[in-house]
Amino acid sequence: MPHLLNVTKRFDLIVANIDFRSLRRTRNALLSHLKQPGLLILSGILDKEKESLRHHYVETGMLQWVETTRQGEWVCLTFLKK
């Protein structure tokens, strides 16, 4: 599997289903590969982590939060790159 930093293409949709720490750490790399406009879907998030992670991505000024979906204790956040 190629390393995220070695990817040169940009995409209309990025889905990342990884742990909270990795989603925080890879924010800039994920956003650099997301086209404008584009959808970013983050999952693998526990309910108690959702607000912190949502704020972490929105504070870039590049994303608009679209929706939060839940299944049990798991959460999925969807954003639109403005």
pLDDT band at 4 (very low <50, low <70, confident <90, very high): low
β-sheet with 74-81: strand ranges across: 11-17, 34-46, 74-81, 63-71
Tokens of 57: 């991505």
pLDDT tens for 20-78 read 999 999 999 999 999 999 999 999 999 999 999 999 999 999 999 999 999 999 999 99
Tell me the pTM.
0.90
Stronger pLDDT, 24 or 1, i.e. the higher one:
24
Direct distance between the N- and C-terminal alpha carbons of the chain, in angstroms, rounded to an integer: 29
Domains of the chain by range and CATH?
7-81 (3.40.50.150)
